[in-house]
Chain A
Amino acid sequence: MIPAKFEYHRPTSVQDAVALLAQLGEEAHPLAGGHSLIPVMKTRLAAPEHLVDLAGISSLKGIRREQDHIAIGAMATQSEMIASPLLAEILPIIRETSLLIGDPQIRYVGTIGGNVANGDPGNDMPALMMCLDAEYQLAGRNGERRVRARAFYFGAYDTARQNDEILTEVRIPIPAKGHGYAYEKLKRKVGDYAVAAAAVMLTITNGTCRAASIGLTNVADTPLWAEAAAQALVGTRIDRTAIANAANAAEAITNPASDGHGPAEYRRKMTGVTVRRAIERAKLRAEV
């Protein structure tokens, strides 16, 4: 499997990258870690004429705390996120999720920007970012803008990012201290996309759920923010009934495809199972 020919560009600033994308038009594609794009190019399902490699742009690296946000540069890799003491302390769910992406080699190369920006519903980070109410910073010809993860995904590989825009940063509100979290991913083997997966964040005080958020991976043509499922937990003591209500609400919004990893009905039901299990683990982790 050999990719078609293309021209390679390696800008050193976001400005240059954006200018290149604008100049080259539809036939140009930004390249981050490349582990989604390059295999597709090798099968020739994608054949961009220009690749704009973002690896030379140092400003896209790094994981920082900024007031009430964590800012993660688009080119931060999964292994950098796994190793980050800052994330381990403030957003441990990112480490848990990152460890379930691909395999060790892929995590060295795979970036958060690539994972959230390409619009593959099988990617794990988008649902997590919806769960965390992250914002994506986009740089384009006309300057910068921010789009909430919850408003970013339109369909498979169809997102709010314009062709000449680059996703430069992911900004995540710092969650409450003592929150409970879990990313539960059902897959056949290491390296697989999820049959279904659920990201859950909970805040519990005096035994009662004060806030909850749930994201779902690979059970529709976009990642899903399961608002009703989360609402089914708020105000409850997260007992069996509440969990069942949340799981049912999550299943209700899925629209999975049938594929070799199971028919749609299975994936719908596995959404419920992963939501239930994620809630149960998150509850155990939450400071009550």
Chain B
Amino acid sequence: MNDIAPTQAERAEKLQGLGCKRKRVEDIRFTQGRGNYVDDVKLPGMLFGDFARSSHAHARIKSIDTSKALALPGVKAVLTAADLKPLKLHYMPTLAGDVAAVLADEKVLFQNQEIAFVVAEDRYIAADAIELVEVEYEALPVVVDPFQAMAPDAPILRDDIKDKMNGAHGPRKHYNHIFNWQVGDKQATDEVFKTAEVTTKDLFVYQRTHPAPLETCQCVASMDKVKGELTVWGTFQAPHVVRTVVSILSGIAEHKVHVIAPDIGGGFGNKVGVYPGYVCAIVASIVLGVPVKWVEDRMENLSTTSFARDYHMATELAATKEGKILAMRVHMLADHGAFDACANPSKLPAGFVNICTGSYDIPVAHLEVDGVYTNKATGGVAYRCSLRVTEGIYAIERAIEVLAKKLGMDSVDLRMKNLIKAEQFPYRSALGWEYDSGNYHVALQKALDAVGYPALRAEQKARREAFRRGETRELMGIGVCFFTEIVGAGPSRHCDILGVGMFDSAEIRVHPTGSIVARMGTKSQGQAHETTYAQIIATELGIPADDITIEEGDTDTAPYGLGTYGSRSTPVAGAATAMAARKIRAKAQMIAAHLLEVSEYDLEWDVDRFTVKGLPEKFKTMKEIAWAAHNNLPPGLEPGLEAVNYYDPPNMTYPFGAYFCVMDIDIDTGVAKTRRFYALDDCGTRINPMIIEGQVHGGLTEAFAIAMGQEISYDAQGNVMGASFMDFFLPTAVETPKWETDFTVTPSPHHPIGAKGVGESPNVGGVPCFSNAVNDAFAFLDAGHIQMPHDGWRLWTVAERLGLHA
């Protein structure tokens, strides 16, 4: 028997709070196949829905014949736009202020667009029935190039709004135009460019790609006609928003709509939106009065729900001969496909792409974005990047490299010269953001030392000479990226979704025995919220994380929140969690004072207890206080120990990082091999370092895939190319590089625990780093900017153009 009281450090360690590499709670069920994903939901009498889809990219629908499908035994219903029209559900509102067809009405606007929804006894019969839906088309001219979409004689794509020249974001210039968005000081920027000593201008294309989580989008809708209540299980990154949208669309009061996001098999932005499959399953369940399941297959996923990127960015920098950047000017053409269903805050049609001045102190800048319609799938989601941040950072990080080359400077020196200095924070950028904190020079220097940068450049120089002598057929590239993320959407003055401010929430209940259940408005899709939110509460309340259950995703029990995307969970719901816990601690302090018969001002917090100042042996632990909260309270204080917090963040958070990549490119095949990748991330306070490193590994792997091979492309007829995992590039363990991770810690000054969010940083920083490595490999041959994706044949084509195969 050892009755020596545990030390403060021992007590703290037992909590598994902030900073602990706590093992994940979720893994216990996931490793045993006991997760509960949407397709695992099986209800009595459940039917299965499947779509007949368009074979054309642009065509008028002359007729739809569903009779053969309906005649197939086991088929219960076939819905078309004609059925939805009387309900005014053939179109649905998008997050971007546009409408999108639920089922094609009179014409189709992209290949695989939803035309008819077949509901059958099981998925096999449904699959047979969609083959029997007969559609007669009249083909129309197709537009897949966003530049051609704006041509004076371009085909009209959106008949439904062709005369509505005032869009959700102001006047439209053309019937295929969606919005024009400008930020910054145009006149001042133009003035600087007129007189600058050095300027650069390049068109950087960030190709269309797709988040492709391993689990596709799916849902089960179940209408209880007796109770008049609708329950929807779905792959929803933002379940509360889905409930609001479903209520508005269906006319069922919001308290009678129950939305449940169970375990989600990855999201990466794909599962933010509301898709025709959800709407049709709901309508079918309402009409038929039985549960209806809809599960996308992979082809449908890649070709219909939520592409990402497709930004064409004409990027200019102006600088002095010494390398001081004076101004940035960018024009971006955004290809949004057939409907504007971008997942952006309502007021920000291009998200936070105006972070494109990056990590640099650029005095003036101007950004203009034009969105256009094309005959391509709709979406425009943040694929593991805070809303359009990866596009903006790609533009500046490529432009910096181009400028460095033009100046004859090492790009690291150019960065060092222009990085925002530590004493400049909070820093107001020329395009309107207030960066909360940063220590950029320290981070970059740490990274340079870690990779041995001068030695790498020396090796590269020697290898280039060897290449010129014909001794090697490989080119060595060194990729550098210093990025600033903008996450934690967001302050409701900037950010809302369909009018709902982008706050988030936490509700914490302490039980009499001192265990806790807490619920948040976010929804994990692999980020381990059940593990990490408990760590925040553990540290705030002195209750071991193992005694805390975290629940999310059930709109009946969890407080309203805007969901998980754009690395917003830790910055927003994590803050709400800390704030709610602090409310509880404040009440606990009153109870402790009552129990110890001292003034609450005589108490101090000590890991898991309140102690009387100067008398550490006089204390009440949080467990003791929890019990007392249910039976022994100071007069006038209500019983219980619970709190709710809705957190409207005062500002975004700004994680940053310095990444380096070393790559060898075989010019005879174009195959690039990543020899080394080093990632230093600063995400402020680190809640669980193990999970942060895991997030960085995963984000870097997605960045690698995007930069080196991913693309959703279309041929001239609008046929979507490669919408399967046979063609769409997802690297295996063999191709994926090994990752070195590192960190600095610069807490956010406005976040209750100083945390900034990390999940998307590695994608934002990783893509330009890989692309810079490829471009750097060819830079000494004056190759000019090389567009992504950097797969074998494209790099071989660059080498061919440069005459390296002669």
**Which residues from chain A sit less than 8 Å from chain B, CB to CB?**
1-2, 4-5, 43-44, 103, 186, 188-192, 195, 260-263, 266, 269-270, 273
Contact = CB atoms under 8 A, between A and B. Distances in A.
Interface string B636-663: 0000000000000000000000000000
Contacts of B726: 191-192
B127 A195 contact: no
B297 A260 contact: no
- The secondary-structure label for the interface of chain B is loop
A189 B728 CA distance: 11
Contacts of B131: 4, 44
Nearest to A47: B131
Contacts of B668: 273
Q: 7 closest A-B pairs (Cβ-Cβ)?
A: A262-B793, A2-B127, A266-B793, A190-B732, A260-B722, A1-B297, A260-B727
A53 to B, nearest CB: 20
Contacts of B735: 188-190
B797 interface: yes
A2 B792 contact: no
Nearest to A274: B669
B446 to A, nearest CB: 33
Contact of A103 (B669, B721, B727, B732): B732
B135 to A, nearest CB: 16
Given A188-B709, A260-B727, A273 B732 contact: no
30 contacts: A1-B127, A1-B297, A2-B127, A4-B128, A4-B131, A186-B669, A188-B791, A188-B792, A189-B729, A189-B732, A189-B735, A190-B732, A190-B734, A191-B732, A192-B726, A260-B713, A260-B721, A260-B722, A260-B727, A261-B792, A261-B793, A262-B796, A263-B793, A263-B797, A266-B670, A266-B792, A266-B793, A269-B805, A270-B796, A273-B669
Contacts of A262: 792-793, 796
Given A195-B793, A261-B792, A270-B796, 7 more contacts: A1-B299, A186-B792, A190-B732, A260-B727, A261-B727, A261-B793, A269-B805
Interface residues of B, number: 29
Nearest to B796: A266
B124 interface: yes
Interface string B696-737: 000000000000010001000000011000110101101100
A18 B360 CA distance: 74
B123 interface: yes
Contacts of B793: 195, 261-263, 266
Interface string B286-316: 0000000000011100000000000000000
Nearest to A266: B793
A188 B722 CA distance: 14
A189 B671 CA distance: 11
Contact of A195 (B299, B792, B797): B792
B669 A2 contact: no
Nearest to B732: A190
Interface string B23-50: 0000000000000000000000000000
Contacts of B732: 103, 189-191
A58 B731 CA distance: 38
Contacts of B797: 263, 266
Contacts of B669: 186, 270, 273
B701 to A, nearest CB: 13
Contacts of B709: 188
B124 A2 contact: yes
Contacts of A195: 792-793
Contacts of A190: 732, 734-735
Interface in B140-185: none
B709 to A, nearest CB: 6
A269 B796 CA distance: 10
A186 B669 CA distance: 8
A103 B731 CA distance: 13
A2 B127 CA distance: 6
Interface string B722-754: 100011010110110000000000000000000
Contacts of A269: 796, 805
A64 to B, nearest CB: 33
Nearest to B797: A266
B674 to A, nearest CB: 14
Nearest to B736: A189
Interface in B743-769: none
